[in-house]
Structure 1
């Protein structure tokens, strides 16, 4: 899989029903189980610090990705260089899970951010989410330690330029 394998289309209001359905898929809901997850996604659609994307492969939408500027609400991440970006994502299409797509599209998206001047990218998976942690490590991220976030305990992972 090459970086051009994946398309990152900015999400728009017409995508909300798709994302709402995706959040109910059992393997997604297991980690995005917050009762307000859809409200956060839909409420941030026009937020100036948040980019949301539908990820496709061969014109097949299969994943959601959000990219945000680390701000005051991310104090649990500790001091980060100016311009640091955070990522959250999930693969909704079960046929695409376990085939290397997660690490590949995260690597492709991260590399584009770093080439565009972001000094660092951070991720904060739950420490028990072994599949996500493995994918992030394959995408070039390293573990830096556990942190407390508003969503609970998380493993801070970083990738530097």
Structure 2
């Protein structure tokens, strides 16, 4: 997988299609309501992506497989998120959201590999982070299982503004130590 920053201008139509897809629309909610037909417009998604570009603690990404857009990612600082202050988390921890958007890749078992790769990338980019966390909707059992298969553990359920979420935590693994001669 390769990731690139999401472009509000260029990627809004693609992300809009993914957010409105049957497999995603019940679990992904932006910070605004859908229109009267239950969909997000390109304009709403473009504004949402623009806001991400302006927020230093958050980033939006497009994940590509074999050069084709396949997923939408958000990375964030726990300190500036609704998870700030949760007892098992530190302000230095990192969070991720994922949407495997292209139906071509849904249900093929790619989720755990992509999630593990994104967690590893966050640990590499943010060496002070002890954990990478996520908070998928508890009703999205497929997502919870994918996080578990990627090395996340479900700590508990948390009530957030727009959903009841499974708090998923991936702990940084300490480097293995070489045996020392006595």
Same fold (TM over 0.5): yes
Q: Which one has the largest radius of gyration? A: 2
**How many Å separate the matches in 1 of 2:151 and 2:134?**
11
Aligned length: 156
Q: 1:86 to 1:75 in 2, by over 3 A?
A: closer
Structural RMSD (CA): 1.9
Please list, as runs of the form range in 1=range in 2, the aligned pairs for 1:66-77 lying within 5 A after superposition.
66-75=74-83
Match of 1:15 among 11, 22, 27: 11
SS for the counterpart of 1:127 is coil
1:3 maps to which residue? none
Q: 1:64 to 1:57 in 2, by over 3 A?
A: same
1:136 is aligned to 2:132? no
Deviating more after overlay: 109-118 vs 51-60 = 109-118
Structure 1 contact 68–86 (Cα < 8 Å) conserved: yes
- Structure with bigger RCO (C-alpha 8 Å, 6+ apart): 1
Structure 2 runs not aligned, ≥5 long: 35-39, 173-182
Please list, as runs of the form range in 1=range in 2, the aligned pairs for 1:58-73 lying within 5 A after superposition.
58-73=66-81
Structure 1 contact 76–149 (Cα < 8 Å) conserved: no
Deviation at 1:74, TM superposition (A): 1.6
1:104 is aligned to 2:100? no
1:159 is aligned to 2:167? no
**How many Å separate the matches in 1 of 2:132 and 2:108?**
23
Deviation at 1:78, TM superposition (A): 0.7
Q: 1:149 to 1:33 in 2, by over 3 A?
A: closer
Deviation at 1:113, TM superposition (A): 1.4
**How many Å separate the matches in 2 of 1:89 and 1:129?**
12
Higher helix share: 1
Higher strand share: 1
1:84 is aligned to 2:79? no
Structure 1 contact 8–56 (Cα < 8 Å) conserved: yes
